[in-house]
Structure 1
Amino acid sequence: MHVFVTGASGWIGSPVVGELLAAGHEVTGLARSDASAAALERAGAAVRRGDLDDLDGIRAGAETAEAVIHLANKHDWSDPAASNAAERAAVQTIADALAGSGRPFLLASGVAGLGRGGRPATEADASPAHGPDSPRGGSENLALEYVDRGVHTVSLRFSPTVHGTGDHGFIASIAAVAREKGVSGYPGDGANRWAAVHRDDAARMVALGLEKAPAGSRLHAVAEEGVTTRAIAEAIGRAFDLPVASIAPDDVEGHFGWIGAFFGQDLSASSAATRELLDWTPTGPTLVEDIDAGAYAAG
């Protein structure tokens, strides 16, 4: 089928495009720069120029495709309100374009904040995010509302770390803090956990979700249910030959900066239902194996 992908040249989008093309799909990727457009063309995808604020272009891309996979997000931590508003507007534009068609609409979300009472988040946990002022503009719930309006919506909930060589996300930021401070720290006793998945496994899950997931599904791109923050800090310490130390809870945000608000949380999650539904088995390296192998050495 012809699939329109936003965020197509991004960290997750790039391997997703590769998986789709290998499966025989035709792909058009949204590209906001010459470099992104060139990368998509080299991969064998068509290009639609534009960005997340180009709602007319996004609408046109959705209207002319047989399926949409929405992976783009501004991730502007300096102005989260603007990021949330842009995300909600893009999701509503795509959903409106697909309404009544029965076509698939897969959109990126996350497992963060879904667990209750210290247990890992599951696919059955509904997102508490509603409305334009909530994280991601409440886009998951907004998109799922369109199932009753003839859209085959599937939520793609990614682990807080989708890791691999070249990752520039949360773990890269935590490693950068360790190098700057000269110590690889972990919050408190380091017992809080982060779900993790290698990006190739995540991309394969997305492609399987397009083929197999029923409308209204919530899929968890989770290979490891919970890697402790102490284990993460110890691996970073080994990678950069740094001492490893506990950071008192009151000092976490001061030590880590903006990433401290996330690193201090328990963000564990299960993917048991996703694995059974899609017959998906992660096979990539673990997070600690990637750190030990030097995936974050090029800071």
Structure 2
Amino acid sequence: MKVLILGATGFIGLPAAGALVRAGHIVYGLARSEAKAMVLAAEEIIPVRGDVDSDAWLPLIATLDVIIEAVTASPDGACNTFERTIKAAEALRPPTAPLLTYIYTSGTWVQGDNRTEIVTDTTPITRPVELLAWRPAVEQMVVRSTAVNGIVVRPALLYGRSASLLVSLFKSAAEGKAICIGTPGGRYAVIHADDLADLYVRVAEKSSLLGGKILVAANSQTESVDDLLRKLVQVSGAKSYEYRAPENKFEEAIQATTLVRPYLANALLGWVPKKPGLVEGLDIYYAAWLASTAPGSFIHAP
């Protein structure tokens, strides 16, 4: 296959691109700078210089099999990227070509903050976190499209490598006291970046069978935030931990408890996360974050 990843230098996109390369596919990645283009080229990912709002990547649509959209975007940005893809596909692809597969990256925060009810891949969304209240509409735009083969992947909170959204928590621990946004008793739905990458490979390879599906990417069990903080104090050498109330919409989202029990990716693709859980492997993941902050390290950002 020929696959283009929008957001190929990011925390989601780079592991996914690498996994697709190792699976034998031709992978293109969007890069906004020469330095990031060199990072992609070193991983045998073909760099395409430009950002998602540029026209640099649109000509590739003539011969692509799959686009993976892994870019943090506003509602207008997400819609614009999808609409530009459709227009380019209509203009550049012959009428006899198979539908281009478009995999949109959403997230489990669309299921909102709920400490009592278990949700799955197919649970209707009724109260997404306010920050991402626009995203369910984009999901439906993708999976209901007749112009592309639309699929949605909803990753949980990512961990591993350079720590993704756990950076502020790890940084506070390194400074002596772990500061966690939220209240005691919360639980995180989580997924390691490598396990998520494996899912993208499986979805891309079986995409002709998955059009219109929304797949949750999460470990089968959520993890106690209280357990995480106790373990973090132990592995980091911090003196203590404490909670603080969220101060903006992003912090309200990051402290959300979503009791996710995914099943579709396993049932349809045989996908099973393999990495140790966040708390179980926290000594490894904290050490990896520390190494990523060392002078000269390249922190991949979307």
Q: TM above 0.5, one fold?
A: yes
User: Could you list the runs of 5+ residues in structure 2 that have no partner in the other structure?
Assistant: 294-302
Contact 1:165-1:290 at 8 Å conserved across structures:
no
CA deviation string 1:191-211 (max 9, x = no partner)? 221111111111000100112
- Letter matched to residue 264 of structure 2: A
- Out of 104, 107, 118, the position equivalent to 1:107 is 104
Q: Decide whether aligned partners of structure 1 residues 235 and 98 sit closer, same or farther in structure 2, where only a CA change above 3 A counts.
A: farther
Counterpart of 1:44 in 2: which secondary structure? coil
For the aligned residue pairs, the C-alpha RMSD in angstroms reads 2.6
Matched, 1:290 2:281: yes
1:275 aligns with 2:266: yes
Q: How does 1:4-153 map to 2 (within 5 A)?
A: 4-54=4-54, 56-74=55-73, 83-98=74-89, 101-114=98-111, 118-127=116-125, 134-136=133-135, 138-146=137-145, 149-153=146-150
**32-41 or 134-143: bigger deviation:** 134-143
Separation of aligned partners in 2, 1:274 and 1:237: 34
TM-score normalised to structure 1 length: 0.82
Counterpart for residue 176 of structure 1: 171
Letter in 2 for 1:30: L
Equivalent residue, structure 2, for 1:222: 218
Partner of 2:246: 253
Residue 196 of structure 1, aligned match among 190, 203, 213 = 190
Asked if 2 retains the 8 angstrom alpha-carbon contact of 1:52 and 1:87, the reply is no
Change beyond 3 A, Cα 1:224–1:178: farther
Structure 1: distance between partners of 2:239 and 2:274 = 31
- Greater Cα offset, 277-286 or 136-145: 136-145
1:58 offset after TM fit, Å? 4.0
1:201-228 deviations in Å (ceiling 9; x for gaps): 1100010011224101111111243112
Cα offset, 1:268, TM superposition:
2.8
Structure 2 residue aligned with 1:78: none
Task: Assess, with a 3 A threshold, how the Cα gap between structure 1 residues 259 and 289 changes in structure 2: closer, same or farther.
Answer: farther
Contact 1:52 1:73 in 2 (8 A): no
Q: Is the 8 A contact 1:252 1:264 kept in 2?
A: no
Deviation at 1:45, TM superposition (A): 2.1
**Most deviating of 120-129 and 9-18:** 120-129
Per the alignment, in what secondary structure is the counterpart of residue 237 of structure 1? helix
Q: CA deviation at 1:71?
A: 0.9
Whether 2:228 is the aligned partner of 1:237: answer no
**Partner-residue secondary structure (3-state), 2:111:** coil
- The Cα offsets for residues 218-273 of structure 1, whole Å up to 9 and x where unpaired, read as 111112431121122122212222244553xxx5125xx77641343212312222
Distance in 2, matches of 1:232 and 1:135, equals 30
Q: Which whole-Å CA distance do the structure 2 matches of 1:217 and 1:274 have between them?
A: 10
3-state SS, counterpart of residue 47 of structure 1: strand
- The number of residue pairs the alignment matches comes to 277
Name the SS for the 2:271 alignment partner: coil
CA offset digits 1:65-87 (Å, max 9, x no partner): 1221111225xxxxxxxx33222
Are the counterparts in 1 of residues 170 and 178 from structure 2 also a CA contact under 8 Å?
no
Q: Which has the higher contact order (CA 8 A, sep 6+)?
A: 2
Can you give the 5+ residue segments of structure 1 that lack an aligned partner in the other structure?
75-82
1:85 aligned counterpart, secondary structure: helix
Q: Which moved more, 1:263-272 or 1:27-36?
A: 263-272
Structure 1: distance between partners of 2:86 and 2:168: 33
AA in 1 matched with 2:148:
V
